[in-house]
Amino acid sequence: MNITVFTDLHLFAPNEVRAHFDENKTYDQSVIFLGDIFDLANCKKSFVPKLREICKNFIERHQKNFVLGNHERAGTPFKFRYVVVNNTVFTHGDLEANPDKWGAYRKKEHGAGFLKRTFIVPFIEDAEQIIDRKPKEDFLKRASTFAKEMGVTNYVCGHFHPKEMIVTEHDGVRIYILPRGRSELNV
């Protein structure tokens, strides 16, 4: 099955990636929204109420194909932690990377001020282009364990912002780590 995946767009943040999808359309499970689509962590503080409404409406329309990321800052409701399609679990990846750190981050205040939006977010984005963030063994172990708990042999996530898709295997589970934007998978 061909699946289009959008991940880590960080819409409404200084480092947003524009991808081509209709924000007013309802998509089926051939399109998965894999977290950090909207960035309530780094949007302008004055825009938080409007973005909360945009995010809420979008999630309501896509309950079967939307996964929350750490930048939606909506806590860790299990209902929006993953989507399973065709022997594949789709999840954002932050909770498998570091459940304590990112679980707490998901509950922080919404919005960012001028300093963070102007200097810190662009600095982090530039640093990510230099640093090659390879998946660590503890992440691979948690990802493969989660996939097995879901009864599947493929695990797909975003979160890490690699330059190109990373495909690896761990304990019999094929793990895909997607770059920011739009990716096409055949699972």
Per DSSP bridges, beta strands 88-91 and 66-67 are: unpaired
20-59: pLDDT as tens digits: 888 888 999 999 999 999 999 999 999 999 999 999 999 9
Percent of the chain exceeding pLDDT 70 equals: 99
94-114: pLDDT as tens digits: 999 999 999 999 999 999 999
Half-sphere exposure of 35 (CA within 13 A, CB side): 31
Spatial separation of the C-alpha atoms in residues 50 and 63, rounded to whole Å: 20
Per DSSP bridges, beta strands 166-170 and 2-7 are: unpaired
Spatial separation of the C-alpha atoms in residues 5 and 73, rounded to whole Å: 20
Q: Is the pLDDT of residue 132 over 80?
A: no
Q: What is the pLDDT of residue 113?
A: 92
Annotate 15-50 with DSSP letters as a single string: T-------TTSPP-TTEEEES-SB-TTTSBGGGHHH
Cβ-based burial of 21 (10 A; exposed 0-12, middle 13-18, buried ≥19) = middle
What is the sign, positive or negative, of the torsion defined by CA atoms of 128, 130, 135, 137? negative
Neighbours of 128 (CB within 10 A): 16
Who has greater pLDDT, 119 or 79?
119
